[in-house]
Amino acid sequence: MLGWQHGGAGLDHPALQPPTAMKAFCSRANPTTGAMEWEEEDEDYDYHQEIARSSYADMLHDKDRNEKYYSGIRAAVCRVKERGQKAIVLDIGTGTGLLSMMAAKAGADFCFAVEVFKPMADVAVKIIDKNGFSNKIKVINKHSTEVTVGPDGDMSCRANILVTELFDTELIGEGALPSYEHAHKYLVQEECEAVPHRATVYAQLVESERMWAWNKLLPIHVSLEGDSDKVIYPTKDMQLCAGSPCVYDIQLNQVNRNHFTALTMVTKMFSVDFSKAVSSSPAQHTVQVQATGSGQAHVLISWWDMEMDPEGSIRCTMAPYWAHPTPNNMQWRDHWMQCVYFLPQKLTVQEGEYLWISAIHDDYSLWYKMQRNSDECKAEVLSDRPLCSCQAHLMCNRQRFGELNDQQRNNAYIKALKTILRPDTVCMTVSDGSLLSIFAHLLGAAQVYSLEISAVSRRVMQKILAANELMGKMIISEKSPEQLTPVDLDNNQISVLIGEPFFTTSLLPWHNLYFWYARTYLAKHLSREFTVLPQSATLLAIAVEFEDLWRIRAPCRECEGFDVNLMDEMIQNSLNFHECHEAEPHPLWEYSCRALTDPCQMLTFDFRHEVPEQSISSSGSMQLLRSGTCHGIVLWMDYSLTNDITVTTGLAKFHSQTGYCEWNPHNKQGVYFLRLEALQGTSTNKQDSIGYSVTFHPKTGELTLDFQQSL
């Protein structure tokens, strides 16, 4: 994963530009150390891999987006021609060059296509040439703010049609406002045509205990012996914390309607007219709304739409199904989703009362505030951007908060701990920001040590201990397992070693195997008859047919009549499916799929023994039990806490007759997409199988994966 990123149709965002020398530092989780390491790639690094794993395929498959852009561009070119002018187009963030080719085909006299990312600009040149438009389109490999106009400039004249796709799920997060502001000042004519013409942001206030559990640590109940019950409380600063400034982008259509209740109607917050001068200065937009129901206001859900023409007759919307004009015919997309914004504090709302909701933005981000009277809204709130003051949001992402607040999951650990803890137990926990150490103390362990390698998690855990009057009842160490000495353990031997396992640096399910390495490093500190929880982990896999997720890696040979096959060739060559194909992390509860095989155990990792020196391998085949299109393989880990208590990071529910899958919402699963040819729609039947070969490499902590469909 690169230390800089890209998204949308182009990279026209100062913060997203690659280094000018075309070197990159790529961050990778190291399961053997539990650390996130940065590696400098050499000049031969294949940046096309990053394009291949980006959202370009998803956008090319977004038929609704492409059709609306094409219609808007044709209409804009027509309006300019009707005025007797030449149609000169500026396309900022051209990506594949698709929008510029649309303009050229629609009759534009010339197009300037700006793309800052050189590998993508090179691809655009080839695609444009292959489609026969190289004489009408000039690709400019610069950031748009560096483009010059004049006889010796990048553009011979200012454009009168501005075409962009600089939008993300939050609308403005890719730097759309500064880019538009600069373009109107220096690159386009006054009163130019713009496609899209305007964008509008909407919001709706909702009650949702499920979503609220993604944002804060809630009271955790620990059932003790008899009928007694102990509650672990979050600290006061956690309760008052405004939370993370990062928006939670989500496939809102996959959230069960039983998990939230609307408290207001859908409300138009503000619009941006892209055909006129745009300001990137901070701004606040306040709207009065009336509560349509009573309840606890937890979050504001938000989305946007864009109108491609001045009349608003060509409209592309990100609205979820209950607010969508055609809910039975919605375009699935992953490059634009919906947003969840958490209120700093939950507020009680009564049906019929009036509320004031403010949408506030700077040049790159958006946030919300809710007030009960208009006077409060007049106060300066631009300084009130949500920022974490408790540090817990630096340690926990949304999924981790949900995991910590999952009482059913906590009960499984508590039940397992009760079977192994004794009054003389010397216990050590190895996880990041885990409550297991507190569970162990409350359940009667004589001494509890907690290894918190992360400085942030260590500070957060110390504050939780203080809030629950547990300081001094357990020892939190900042040392890594290999650095630990007998003195750090008061010369005690560890009789019980426990972990969730969870580590903040983990990206894929098997990266949490760092717990196994930690157990190995700690071998000299373990008693002869020690117990480890979990005692083992199992890597499982299942072949699936995705309803929509397959589109992000599927070939798109032709898009709106244009040949974009070069993108597919680049993706296939760069990812090199034969040799170095990797799994990708995805939260599958947001992406519907149907299993074509039953779950298959790939590898088992026995934590009762040290990490072996030799590789662990498994090979075989998974029989396809249901017909369909096999898009990929889902992988996850199950942890055996004891002989009869297991927790899963993958399948929460599975119906063997239909292949119905319900996925654990607190974890990302690994997805291994099959070769691109398989994503074109090749159907399978029950006589087919998926051959697999999986190898765990102890020296690196990584897995080598290979899956092949056998017909």
CATH topology for 536-710 is Hnrnp arginine n-methyltransferase1 (2.70.160)
Phi-psi region of 287 (alpha: psi -120 to 50; beta: other; left: phi over 0): beta
Confidence of residue 16 (pLDDT cuts 50, 70, 90): very low
Q: Please tell me the predicted confidence (pLDDT) of residue 113.
A: 98
pLDDT of residue 226: 72
Tell me what pLDDT residue 478 has. Answer: 87
Contact 365, 245 (CB under 8 A): yes
Provide, rounded to the nearest whole percent, the portion of the chain with pLDDT above 90. 79
The pLDDT, as a whole number, for residue 125 is 96
Positions marked catalytic = 165, 174
pLDDT higher than threshold 90 for residue 492: yes
Q: What is the mean pLDDT of the chain?
A: 90
Q: Where exactly are the structural domains of the chain?
A: 57-165, 199-213+224-387, 421-532, 536-710
Q: At 384, is the secondary structure helix, strand, or coil?
A: helix
CB 632 within 8 A of CB 661: no
Strand partners of residue 488: none
Token pair for 223: 């059932």
Name which residue leads in pLDDT, 200 or 119: 200
Nearest to 449 by CA among 460, 434, 464: 434
pLDDT digits (tens, 9 = 90+) for 419-454: 999 999 999 999 999 999 999 999 999 999 999 988
Closest listed residue to residue 395, CA positions, set 217, 227, 565, 240: 217
23 has pLDDT over 90: no
CATH topology match: 199-213+224-387 vs 536-710:
yes
The rounded distance, in Å, linking the Cα atoms of 105 and 231 is 66
> What's the pLDDT tens digit per position in 102-147?
999 999 999 999 999 998 999 999 999 999 999 999 999 999 999 9
Q: What is the pLDDT of residues 502-554, one digit of tens each?
A: 999 999 999 999 999 999 999 999 999 999 999 999 999 999 999 999 999 88
**pLDDT exceeds 90 at position 465:** yes
Q: What is the mean pLDDT of residues 606-618?
A: 97
Answer whether 537's CB lies under 8 Å from 604's CB.
Answer: yes
Homologous superfamily, domain 199-213+224-387: Hnrnp arginine n-methyltransferase1 (2.70.160.11)
Compare 436 and 26 and report the one with higher pLDDT.
Answer: 436
pLDDT value of position 5:
28
Structure token pair of residue 128: 């444009």
What CATH number does domain 421-532 carry, 3.40.50.150, 3.90.1170.50, 3.40.50.300, 3.90.25.10?
3.40.50.150
Predicted local distance difference test score (pLDDT) of residue 566: 79
Q: Residue 601: its pLDDT value, please?
A: 97
**pLDDT digit string (tens) for 273-296?**
999 999 999 999 999 999 999 999
Q: What's the CATH number of domain 57-165, 3.10.520.10, 3.30.910.20, 1.20.1740.10, 3.40.50.150?
A: 3.40.50.150
What was the pLDDT predicted at 50? 61
Annotate 691-701 with b (16+ C-beta within 10 A) or e (fewer). Answer: ebebebebeeb
| Res 65: pLDDT | 97
pLDDT value for 402: 97
